[in-house]
Structure 1
Amino acid sequence: MNLKVWFVLPFLLSITFTLVAGHVDTVQVASPAMNRTVKCVVITPDRYASAPADRFPVVYLLHGFGGSHRDWIGNLPELATYADRYGIIIACPDAQNSWYLDSPINPVMRYETFMTTELIPYLDTQYRTLADRQHRAITGLSMGGHGALYLAVRHRDLYSQAGSLSGGVDFRPFPGNWEIKGLLGEEPANQAVWDKNVVINVIESLQTGELRLMIDCGTDDFFTTVNRNLHQKLLQRNIAHDYVERPGGHTWDYWRNNIESHLLFFRNGFPR
């Protein structure tokens, strides 16, 4: 009798998981700015189908260098369950290795324009979003952590909350890495451009209360120092924010274990 219970229980749990998991789409979003289409994974909660009158907040979830729109859902299928748990739409766009910038030297890398003037209007038109800044948040890992803070601070009219996981919030200590010079030019000859495009400098325009911020980084991450520097600068400027260091490195184990804390943070910040 006991054996039957143990065999049936996992089966029932698997049925429960399937019933509450959100729906995953991959869409093609036109980008006139770059003269091409951009893929984006969109995860809608189960209630999206069962409650057709409801509208939902959106969390934009950004991939890192070398990644794609499939990174998050491929490495963390539980995202569909999180969409249900927190009643949100999750959007994961492909951004190549753009650092989510508009490159001044490469006209096919205009991902700040894409994210702010093309992707958001597309989702707000094609999905039942709550289409205002109070119901829009953005976070990401590594390059995506930089992108999330960079875009949110520069476009506070679009986002009310932002986060960063292991974010490259100041890439100037790594001038030869991650194709940044292909976006901004060689650093010595283009120092002002580099300085203008790092998060740690972008935040100088930010006032406390304009954005809810959550920043975290592993204690064994090569970006730990630049995240600590960002934390200190935010403190010096009296910018309210949540800052967390947890054991771990620049790995999917770290990101898988900690992304849900960002989603909970955002859910608590959305208007009820």
Structure 2
Amino acid sequence: MKLRTLLFFISIFAFAQVNASKVDTVETHSTAMNKTIKAVIITPDKYDKNKQYPVVYLLHGYSGNYADWPKAEAVRQAPDLYNMIIVCADGGFGSWYWDSPVDPSYKYETYISKELVQWVDERYSTIKSAKGRAIAGLSMGGHGALYLAIKHPDVFGATGSMSGGVDFRPFPNNWEIAKRLGKYAAYPERWEQNTVINMLHLIEPKTLKIIIDCGTEDFFYEVNQKLHEALLYRNIQHDYIVRPGAHNWPYWENAVKYQLLFFHNFFQQK
């Protein structure tokens, strides 16, 4: 009985040590959209204001919010494991992280890449350059992470997508995309110009570090495979992970472990 009690307390202590990162829900402000937007900031247990930390921004999927990613154990552990800060951002309902040409209340490209980054840099001790910032996401957020990193190489030096909607043209009636860009038939140029697979020409050689992950049973698997092939054709270096799995949280909770390690290695480069 005493041994069992001792083992219990040892396991509790070990759990506390692993999950010692500080998780805070904060309120940020978007001038572009004139509203307050919540985010979750996860810092190392031994956060030191005299040190500068790299930051990973995580984006949620369609119909999700800022509170999704902190549920993943790997996300809560990473700040202590890799000595980094994680920001779980909110991208609204079906924003796809664009500045919508249709709805002026959806300017999430400006919010994430400018306003939120500035807000974090002003309040936390961060590495204030692309060498110290990465951005990743799942599904809609996978598209958003690649989209924002490609368009803002001065802000993000590494990016990752998990089950990302990296080419949404095959899905013209899904996920409120038409509400943000206008209907495909009416505004084809918007759809062509704002889908990730058509933006690869914007990537300067040997600059952006990219990791892509998608399950073979995912409805986005085919478009991810085509993105991989397009990156190979253009000789753009990237990591591409494929394994059995669907479009669900068990897959993403596993995938994010590899993404965070990838970013840690990026931050360690001299």
- Name the CA distance, whole Å, in 2 between partners of 1:172 and 1:137: 26
CA distance, structure 2, for counterparts of residue 29 and residue 203 of structure 1: 31
Q: In the alignment, what sits opposite 1:27?
A: 26
Matches of 2:4 and 2:221, distance apart in 1: 44
Q: How many angstroms apart in 2 are the aligned matches of 1:52 and 1:121?
A: 17
Residue-by-residue CA offset, 1:33-64 (whole Å, 9 max, x unaligned): 0010111100001121xx34222100001100
Corresponding residue to 2:194 among 197, 201, 208: 197
Does the 8 A contact of 2:74 with 2:253 survive in 1?
Answer: no
2:5 pairs, out of 4, 7, 10, with 7
Q: Aligned-pair distance for 1:271?
A: 3.5
Q: What is the RMSD computed on CA atoms of the aligned residues?
A: 1.2
Partner residue, 1:188:
185
Rounded Cα–Cα distance in structure 1 between residues aligned with 2:8 and 2:217: 36
Q: Deviations over 1:207-236 (max 9, x none)?
A: 331101000100100000000000000000
Aligned to 1:247: 244
Deviation at 1:99, TM superposition (A): 0.4
Partner secondary structure for residue 157 of structure 1: coil
Task: Indicate if the aligned counterparts of 1:208 and 1:239 stay in contact, CA closer than 8 A.
Answer: yes
Q: Residue 59 of structure 1: SS of its match in structure 2? A: strand
Deviation at 1:4, TM superposition (A): 3.0
1:99 to 96, 99, 102: 96
Do the aligned partners of 2:74 and 2:257 also contact (CA within 8 Å) in 1?
no
1:167-246 matches, within 5 Å, as: 167-246=164-243
- Report the equivalent of 1:18: 16
The unaligned stretches of length 5 or more in structure 1 are: none
8 A Cα contact 1:135 1:271, kept in partner: no
Give distance in 1, aligned partners of 2:59 and 2:181: 20
TM-score (norm 2): 0.96
Indicate conservation of the 8 Å contact 1:214/1:243, yes or no. yes
Give, in whole Å, the separation in 2 of the partners of 1:88 and 1:246: 27
Does residue 82 of structure 2 align to residue 86 of structure 1? yes
Counterpart secondary structure, 1:215: strand
8 Å Cα contact 1:105/1:185 also seen in 2: yes
Matched residue count: 267
- CA–CA separation in structure 1 for the residues paired with 2:25 and 2:184: 37
CA contact (8 A) 1:43 1:80 kept: yes
Cα shift at 1:78: 4.1
> Could you tell me the percent identity over the aligned residues?
49
